Structure 1
Amino acid sequence: MLKMEDLKGVIPPIITPVDDQENVDEKGLRAVIEHVLAGGVHGVFVMGSNGEFYAMDEENQRRAVAITVDAVGGRVPVYAGIGAITTKAAIRAAQSFEELGADALTVLTPMFIKPNEEEMYGHFAAIAASTALPILIYNNPGKTTNNISVKLLERLAHIDNIVGIKNTSMDFAQTVEYLRVTREIPNFKVLSGIDYYIYATLAYGGSGCVAGTANVAPALVTEIYEKFMAGDHAGALEAQMRLIPLRNTYDYGSFPVVMKDCLNVMGIPVGSPVRPITSCTPERLEALRNVLADLNLLPKEEA
């Protein structure tokens, strides 16, 4: 189980390699895990949005979590993602992932439906009560259309095993407000979910990031955090600026294909995205190759 002092740093929402039948590819998943761990990340988040959780049935989700727990082998905490619409389905996943050995859960707000604040509070409170694992709330209003308000977060943060929030919102003022209202709550952590805002979140007292770009450039993303924590704020900001061109590639294709395409270009075979999403066009793949070349991330024979 996650120790609170270990909820920090760079936590990549790892992509999920799939085979020709769009089932989890174990060899590919283990390769991705070793790649990000070699880059110095502080945790691994399986079944997030970059991991195409929405495309995986329960069997594939369980398999991905089990493989990740085994592959990580306790080197860093494993966060297992839950993106269920109903409370019942989320509780079933929470208990399943706890049995599989996950260290923490990352629970997304429901999508499609539009719960009010009391319903949303009841949803997260019931999930928290169903498991002994720590829970990191995942706020992504751009994708789910449901937003965790500052007032709601302040209430949820008082539930013992709700230990933090990942804010994937372009509204940075909301992240600042999350930090302000939880400052006095012991051990509650706020993490950036937008890769543009890693440095800024740390500057306001945040604990780290869940960064999709850390699938591709884990060492660079980790550099932002490590330099900031060492007091080298200028170095951390420089690393943040070097990361931005990679983050800017997200719109080169339909989300979440770009990080997957990047890994394939880098020589880490991870398969195709799950349809209906398809890979970037040849022109966009060439543009991706140029960005990766600038970051020295291409195989040596191509660089």
Structure 2
Amino acid sequence: MDPLTSRTLRGIWSPTLLPLDADDAIDFGRLEESLEAVLGSGVHGVYTNGTAGEFHTLDEGEYDRLHALVAARCAAAGVPYQLGASHPGGRLSLDRVRRAAALRPGAIQVVLPDWLPLRPGEVVAALRGFAAAADGVPLVLYNPPYAKTQVTPALLARIGEEVPQVVGLKVPAVEVAQGLTDRFAVFVAGHALATGRRGGAAGSYSNVACMSPAGAVRWYAQMAADPRGAADVEARLRGFLDRHVAPLAADGYSDPALDKALCAVGGWSRTGTRVRWPHRWVPAEQVPALREAALTALPELLTDPLSTD
């Protein structure tokens, strides 16, 4: 596909969640089924190997098989896609970047090497190395709140000047990139997108799309057509998350477990709530009550037909 730019990278991007069997093997049949549902939902793109995709658990064979599937299906559907080449180790990240680049996605998502925090010059060196390995495919820097190396506005400005191949950012809030939204496509958390767009955010790698890909797209359109109504949806969405999902986080469930629980709440996919060892997953028996609460709070997001198990 054509390389993405800071101007063309926009909208609701849906993660690729891993349906897992009891032995932690990826069920690629269920994964393909869910991918087809996402591709028919109207999302602006699909991405792999973010936190929701449990990138840190994939072996290299799984990584390549996942990317071959996503690239083929997205290309056939005419839906843009980004491939995540992230790994906690820098040298393994470079290998993943090279293999992702061979599939010519719209962009390659990367995280900074994770075991030791990086100094600013090391951040720039890492991104330059990734850019060289990407062979002309642009990069998106994925820097969530729990990354050991947090990019500051000053460091982002330096990256913008010294690593032109970086076209997009995933950051905790648009304020981190204040003054840089013309240089980068800045992506924020899905549930904060209505507020983020007012500050210049381009879109989200979306936890809302975990719950309802089509609902997230409808909400994104509402942000332009009915900003006040979209802000009301965000307030109710935050309220639902605060009341029903934040307690699960406080109980120690990881972000991938929460994203899969939201997917189960939406009911559009048979992904299931299981995450890979050694992390816990939200028990399936908790999903009906969460779904009832979500339907009460956010009926306009959850009008997609429920899948059958």
Shorter-chain TM band? 0.7 to 0.9
Aligned counterpart, 1:270: 271
Tell me how many residue pairs correspond in the alignment: 291
Aligned counterpart, 1:222: 217
TM-score if structure 2 supplies the norm length? 0.84
Deviations 1:140-162 (A, max 9, x none): 132x2220111111111232221
Deviations 1:238-273 (A, max 9, x none): 332343355444442612113323434626222421
Aligned counterpart, 1:234: 228
Cα offset, 1:125, TM superposition: 1.3
In structure 2, the CA distance between the partners of 1:140 and 1:183, relative to structure 1 (3 Å rule), is closer
3-state SS in 2 of match to 1:130: helix
Question: Letter of the aligned partner of 1:260 in structure 2?
Answer: K
Aligned counterpart, 1:51: 53
Aligned counterpart, 2:237: 243
Deviations 1:31-61 (A, max 9, x none): 2222323332111111110011111111111
Tell me how far apart the structure 1 counterparts of residues 176 and 263 of structure 2 sit (CA, whole Å): 35
Aligned counterpart, 1:26: 28
Tell me how far apart the structure 1 counterparts of residues 229 and 235 of structure 2 sit (CA, whole Å): 10
Q: Which moved more, 1:210-219 or 1:89-98?
A: 210-219
Aligned counterpart, 1:212: 207
Aligned counterpart, 1:135: 139
Match of residue 154, structure 1, among 154, 157, 167: 157
Q: Structure 1 residue 90 and structure 2 residue 93: aligned?
A: yes
3-state SS in 2 of match to 1:11: strand
Tell me how far apart the structure 2 counterparts of residues 260 and 46 of structure 1 sit (CA, whole Å): 15
In structure 2, the CA distance between the partners of 1:277 and 1:92, relative to structure 1 (3 Å rule), is same
3-state SS in 2 of match to 1:259: helix
Gaps of 5+ in 2: none
Aligned counterpart, 1:178: 177
Q: Which moved more, 1:194-203 or 1:45-54?
A: 194-203
Aligned counterpart, 1:3: 4
Tell me how far apart the structure 2 counterparts of residues 97 and 178 of structure 1 sit (CA, whole Å): 27
Aligned 8 A contact 1:223 1:236 in 2 = no
Cα offset, 1:283, TM superposition: 5.9
Tell me how far apart the structure 1 counterparts of residues 294 and 305 of structure 2 sit (CA, whole Å): 10
Q: Which moved more, 1:264-273 or 1:85-94?
A: 264-273
Aligned counterpart, 2:18: 16
Aligned 8 A contact 2:215 2:304 in 1 = no
In structure 2, the CA distance between the partners of 1:221 and 1:30, relative to structure 1 (3 Å rule), is same
Gaps of 5+ in 1: none
Question: Letter of the aligned partner of 1:238 in structure 2?
Answer: D
Tell me how far apart the structure 2 counterparts of residues 9 and 300 of structure 1 sit (CA, whole Å): 24
Tell me how far apart the structure 1 counterparts of residues 258 and 89 of structure 2 sit (CA, whole Å): 29
In structure 2, the CA distance between the partners of 1:148 and 1:111, relative to structure 1 (3 Å rule), is same
Aligned 8 A contact 1:10 1:222 in 2 = yes
Tell me how far apart the structure 2 counterparts of residues 19 and 42 of structure 1 sit (CA, whole Å): 29
Tell me how far apart the structure 1 counterparts of residues 307 and 66 of structure 2 sit (CA, whole Å): 32
Aligned counterpart, 2:259: 259
Deviations 1:195-221 (A, max 9, x none): 332111100111111112212212222
Aligned 8 A contact 1:24 1:63 in 2 = no
Aligned counterpart, 2:186: 190
Tell me how far apart the structure 2 counterparts of residues 282 and 47 of structure 1 sit (CA, whole Å): 24
In structure 2, the CA distance between the partners of 1:32 and 1:106, relative to structure 1 (3 Å rule), is same
Match of residue 78, structure 1, among 58, 77, 81: 81
Question: Letter of the aligned partner of 1:233 in structure 2?
Answer: P
